[in-house]
């Protein structure tokens, strides 16, 4: 305990009752959780099997177990309940499977399985996958699941119509018929079980003396309900998190959980960990400058006793190519100076930004890995092998059968499969069982039936041997006897060789799991291995031993740290992302995301912004991110083209701006730059000096707003001050009358938004530019730019 600071000691020593620990970035969060669990075990003699610690990634759970093993011993750690929300729910559902209508060997469908299943349902319902894209429909179904709504609980909206309700119903029926669940089901069923008045529910609520939750700011409502239920008998619920790092609202995370914890638990003790042990003083100051401008946050004053270190570099460049060259040159220098490649990271807001960076890294022969790209277990050949294994374990899984029944080719075509699906649907059985149905012989040729029967016999044979073979041996048998290996060898190409290597690596991963399970005293089963693979996250697949520079989105960087960080694309419309449409809550989250990015760096932090960038096939002028203006000039160093964007010589931007005043995407700052040395045309002006022009058939935003509101063009309207905003006085707007005729927009009008789908207008806001408040059903009520909406008839 002496190695902990005072607030850390307070959090560790708290004996009973609810505990809320606010943890600043780099403040020793994992150490506190580790010592708290060790303290409960040693000092308070709490049995390990009565302690539950929940994390968000397998990597975090593994690190916690390793630290606890060093403190308390491996034997004790084996009995602890430590894992992600999903893995804990799997464990609960395996134990109480009958209570939720599943077999003990139920399958977990990953994203691609879910999309394939829903795609087949959409086709069977004779709906257009353009009007009902599987990915979009799934996303909306998941929103309803997270909020506890089944198909019968949904109120129809333009964004979730009757067809979608029926798709949701058929999707759930298909999952249950396959004895499968998706990731949302794991949480929903686990929570329903824990909250139920059944013997299983009562048992679960009495099972744990202490419940600890890491990264509590990232929990959604269903996850919060789960841990509250599991801690109900003792109220010994310890939650650890930082509202400043809540960045996952798009997948259901609700920052209100951590901010409202004291209301839910009035007697909760609150501890704040504010000392940063990770980053240099300059990096901490830069991050604080950004997050302190947040509109709503728990007051925290991050500090460090580390040296000031190098200034934070703010580097202006011409375009994404120059940005990539600049970043990679800096990395090459770091490598020459002995920095471990694994300690260097490049962050970007969207995956699309990685292409040019990857090209430059390859050109300089610098090894790299991408986190969040195509994961190893998402590769086609790997998924094929896993589907074989899952089908062997559970023949009711239609999704797995459809994936491998003709892989490698067995002469089983689409018409054969359509007939098989018709028979299975008519009889109410699985596809596997339908293969042996006499009804199938009436629909198919003898040759087609024989091909299906041979496949059926192959799977039955594997099932008969499943209990006699180790999981890795079974996998090898599948690859050989299915003809998969032989088919790849016949191709005799470099790609086929690479696929064979991936399959060998998969078998190797099964062996690795078997050894690890044996070492931990666990029963090594095929079921447990498949479950483990299904729950792997992007960050869990990081190659710890590979000496490679790491590329990832900022979202993927959460929870990680690096010696050297390059944060690219710090421009308006890129970061903050242009898709935020000025929504204040989303801009707040973008600010928190920037804070997370900055606090990943220990020693060196470089932020780059380009004057123009090609993204999604379009090259457009760019202005510096509003977040750069919040970095104190005393800790920053301007490099490159910075001055041409209004940056003063010390690196601080010339004048504070309203961080939530909407900036016209790339119109307010038109970079008319002579790269030989002249200054950009854009400058800081007050509203009185920035009258938008309306000539040559073009319309000003004021005229557009007047048409919408039915007022005269010169009539004043209430609006927020634009004092201190970047504007281009010569080209304030560039929108035509026809494109901007929005007079049809009235409350009740039906609209369509590219991101949120169908909606209904609730309010027209008299602003410049005009905004619309619309109800987008499952996505809620949103405020968006009028120009982002299209009119729809229904």
Q: Which residue, among 48, 100, 104, 54, has the nearest Cα to 77 in the 3D structure?
A: 48
Rounded Cα gap, residues 684 and 669, in angstroms: 10
Q: Is the dihedral of CA 779, 785, 786, 792 positive or negative?
A: negative
Which of 8, 29, 110, 403 is flagged as catalytic? 29
Rounded Cα gap, residues 220 and 44, in angstroms: 31
- Over the Cα atoms of the chain, what is R_g? 29
Please answer whether residues 751 and 790 qualify as being in contact, where contact means their C-beta atoms are separated by less than 8 angstroms.
Answer: yes
Tally of CB atoms within 10 A around 425: 12
Tally of CB atoms within 10 A around 137: 24
Q: Assign domain 110-177 to a CATH class.
A: mainly alpha
Rounded Cα gap, residues 603 and 61, in angstroms: 27
**Phi and psi angles of residue 329, each rounded to the nearest 5 degrees, phi first:** -60, -40
Which of 9, 30, 369, 612 is flagged as catalytic? 30
Give the tens place of pLDDT for each residue, 373-400. Answer: 656 777 889 999 999 999 999 999 999 9
Output the six-digit token pair for 51.
């302690």
Rounded Cα gap, residues 230 and 205, in angstroms: 5
Secondary structure (3-state) at 535? coil
User: Which ranges of the chain have pLDDT less than 70?
Assistant: 1, 373-375, 537-546, 578-582, 615-617, 642-743, 766-769, 778-779, 793-794
Give the tens place of pLDDT for each residue, 676-724. Answer: 333 332 322 322 333 333 333 333 334 433 433 344 333 333 333 333 3
Please answer whether residues 658 and 725 qualify as being in contact, where contact means their C-beta atoms are separated by less than 8 angstroms.
Answer: yes
CA torsion 739-742-748-751 (nearest 10°) is: 10
Q: Distance of CA 216 to CAs 243, 357, 362, Å?
A: 9, 34, 39
**Structural fold of domain 283-373+545-653:** Rossmann fold (3.40.50)
DSSP line for 654-709: SS---TTSPPPTTTSS-----TTTPPPS-EE--GGG-PPP--TTEE-HHHHHHHHH
Rounded Cα gap, residues 643 and 401, in angstroms: 61
The pLDDT, as a whole number, for residue 771 is: 81
Which of 57, 245, 407, 787 is flagged as catalytic? 245
Rounded Cα gap, residues 575 and 294, in angstroms: 16
The pLDDT, as a whole number, for residue 535 is: 81
Rounded Cα gap, residues 257 and 254, in angstroms: 6
775 is catalytic: no
446 is catalytic: no
Peptide bond into 408 cis (omega under 30): yes
Output the six-digit token pair for 346.
């490049």
Rounded Cα gap, residues 106 and 355, in angstroms: 39
Query: Which sequence spans correspond to the domains of the chain?
Result: 6-99+186-275, 110-177, 283-373+545-653, 377-534, 688-791
29 is catalytic: yes
The pLDDT, as a whole number, for residue 40 is: 95
β-strand pairing of 601-610 with 312-317: parallel
Crossing angle of helices 29-42 and 6-13, in 10° steps, is 40
The pLDDT, as a whole number, for residue 169 is: 96
DSSP line for 327-378: HHHHHHHHHHTT--GGGEEEEESSGGGHHHHHHHHHHTT--EEEETSS-GGG
**Structural fold of domain 6-99+186-275:** Rossmann fold (3.40.50)
Rounded Cα gap, residues 404 and 388, in angstroms: 7
Which of 600, 644, 707, 758 is flagged as catalytic? 600
The pLDDT, as a whole number, for residue 729 is: 26
Which of 113, 184, 185, 215 is flagged as catalytic? 215
Rounded Cα gap, residues 733 and 705, in angstroms: 13
How would you class 588 by CB atoms within 10 Å of its CB: exposed for 0-12, middle for 13-18, buried for 19 or more?
buried
Please answer whether residues 88 and 81 qualify as being in contact, where contact means their C-beta atoms are separated by less than 8 angstroms.
Answer: yes
Q: What angle do CA 107, 112, 116 make, to 5 degrees?
A: 90
Q: Distance of CA 521 to CAs 350, 513, 514, 553, 670, Å?
A: 42, 12, 11, 37, 65
The overall pTM is greater than 0.75 = no
Output the six-digit token pair for 659.
């961080």
Output the six-digit token pair for 417.
């499969």
Give the tens place of pLDDT for each residue, 163-209. Answer: 999 999 999 999 999 999 999 999 999 999 999 999 999 999 999 99
358 is catalytic: no
Cα-Cα end-to-end distance for the chain: 64
214 is catalytic: yes
Domain made up of 377-534: CATH architecture: Orthogonal Bundle (1.10)
Which of 182, 185, 214, 588 is flagged as catalytic? 214
Q: Is it true that 6-99+186-275 and 283-373+545-653 share their CATH fold?
A: yes
The pLDDT, as a whole number, for residue 251 is: 82
Secondary element (H or E) of residue 415: helix 414-427
The pLDDT, as a whole number, for residue 666 is: 29
DSSP line for 707-745: HHHT--TT--------TT-EE-TT-S--EETTTT--TT-
DSSP 154: P
758 is catalytic: no
Peptide bond into 769 cis (omega under 30): yes
Please answer whether residues 83 and 55 qualify as being in contact, where contact means their C-beta atoms are separated by less than 8 angstroms.
Answer: yes
Rounded Cα gap, residues 169 and 707, in angstroms: 44
Q: Distance of CA 295 to CAs 388, 394, 587, 597, 683, Å?
A: 52, 51, 10, 19, 26
Please answer whether residues 19 and 11 qualify as being in contact, where contact means their C-beta atoms are separated by less than 8 angstroms.
Answer: yes
């Amino acid at each position: 305990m002496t190695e902990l600071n005072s607030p850390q000691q307070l959090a560790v020593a708290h004996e009973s009752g609810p505990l809320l620990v606010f943890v600043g970035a780099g403040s020793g969060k994992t150490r506190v959780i580790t010592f708290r669990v060790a303290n409960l075990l040693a000092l308070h003699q709490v049995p390990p099997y009565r302690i539950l610690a929940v994390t968000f990634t397998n990597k975090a759970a593994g690190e916690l177990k390793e630290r606890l093993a060093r403190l308390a011993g491996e034997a004790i750690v084996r009995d602890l309940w430590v894992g992600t929300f999903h893995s804990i729910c799997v464990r609960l559902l395996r134990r109480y499977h009958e209570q939720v209508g599943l077999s003990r060997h139920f399958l977990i469908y990953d994203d691609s399985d879910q999309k394939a299943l829903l795609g087949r349902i959409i086709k069977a319902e004779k709906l257009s996958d353009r009007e009902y894209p599987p990915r979009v429909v799934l996303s909306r179904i998941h929103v309803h699941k997270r909020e506890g709504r089944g198909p019968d609980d949904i109120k129809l909206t333009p964004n979730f119509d009757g067809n979608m309700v029926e798709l949701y119903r058929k999707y759930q029926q298909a999952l249950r018929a396959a004895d499968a669940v998706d990731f949302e089901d794991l949480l929903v069923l686990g929570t329903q079980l824990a909250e139920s008045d059944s013997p299983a529910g009562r048992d679960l609520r009495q099972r744990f003396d202490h419940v600890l939750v890491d990264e509590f700011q990232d929990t959604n409502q269903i996850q919060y309900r789960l841990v509250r239920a599991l801690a109900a008998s003792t109220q010994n619920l310890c939650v650890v998190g930082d509202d400043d790092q809540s960045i996952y609202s798009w997948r259901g995370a609700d920052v209100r959980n951590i901010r409202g914890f004291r209301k839910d638990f009035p007697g909760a003790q609150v501890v704040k960990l504010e000392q940063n042990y990770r980053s240099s003083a300059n990096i901490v100051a830069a991050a604080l400058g950004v997050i302190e401008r947040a509109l709503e946050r728990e007051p925290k004053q991050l500090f460090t006793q580390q040296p000031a270190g190098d200034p934070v570099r703010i580097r202006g460049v011409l375009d994404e190519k120059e940005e990539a060259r600049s970043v990679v040159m800096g990395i090459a220098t770091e490598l020459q100076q002995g920095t471990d490649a694994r300690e260097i990271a490049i962050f970007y807001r969207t995956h699309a930004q990685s292409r040019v960076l990857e090209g430059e890294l390859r050109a300089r022969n610098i090894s790299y890995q991408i986190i969040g790209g195509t994961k190893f277990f998402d590769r086609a050949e790997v998924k094929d092998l896993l589907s074989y294994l899952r089908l062997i374990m559970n023949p009711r899984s239609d999704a797995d059968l459809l994936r491998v029944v003709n892989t490698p080719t067995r002469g089983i075509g689409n018409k054969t499969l359509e007939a098989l699906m018709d028979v299975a649907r008519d009889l109410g059985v699985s596809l596997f069982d339908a293969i042996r149905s006499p009804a199938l012989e009436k629909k198919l040729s003898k040759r087609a039936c024989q091909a299906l029967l041979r496949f059926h016999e192959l799977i039955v044979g594997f099932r008969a041997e499943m209990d006699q073979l180790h999981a890795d041996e079974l996998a090898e048998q599948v690859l050989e006897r299915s003809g998969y290996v032989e088919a790849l060898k016949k191709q005799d190409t470099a790609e086929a060789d690479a696929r064979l290597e991936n399959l060998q690596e998969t078998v190797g991963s099964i062996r690795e799991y078997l050894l690890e399970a044996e070492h931990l005293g666990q029963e090594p089963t095929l079921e447990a291995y498949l479950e483990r693979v299904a729950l792997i996250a992007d960050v869990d697949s990081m190659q710890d031993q590979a000496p490679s520079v790491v590329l990832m989105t900022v979202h993927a960087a959460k929870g990680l740290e690096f010696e050297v960080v390059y944060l690219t694309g710090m421009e308006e419309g890129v970061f903050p992302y242009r898709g935020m449409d000025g929504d204040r809550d989303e801009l707040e989250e973008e600010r928190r995301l920037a804070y997370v990015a900055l606090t990943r760096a220990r020693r060196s932090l470089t932020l780059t912004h380009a004057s123009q960038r090609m993204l999604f096939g379009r090259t457009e002028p760019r202005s510096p991110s509003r977040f750069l203006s919040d970095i104190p000039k005393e800790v920053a160093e301007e490099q490159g083209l910075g001055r041409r964007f209004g940056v003063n010589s010390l690196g601080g931007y010339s004048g504070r701006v309203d961080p939530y005043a909407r900036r016209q995407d790339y119109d307010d700052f038109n970079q008319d730059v002579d790269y030989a040395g002249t200054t950009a045309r854009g400058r800081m002006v007050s509203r009185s000096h920035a009258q938008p022009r309306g000539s040559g058939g073009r319309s000003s935003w004021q005229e557009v707003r007047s048409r919408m509101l039915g007022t005269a063009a010169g009539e004043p309207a209430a609006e927020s001050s634009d004092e201190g905003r970047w504007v281009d006085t010569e080209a304030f707007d560039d929108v035509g009358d026809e494109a901007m005729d929005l007079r049809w927009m009235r409350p009740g009008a039906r609209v369509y938004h590219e991101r949120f789908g169908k909606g209904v207008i609730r309010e027209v806001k008299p602003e410049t530019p005009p905004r619309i408040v619309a109800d987008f059903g499952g996505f809620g009520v949103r405020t968006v730019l009028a120009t982002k909406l299209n009119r729809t008839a229904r």
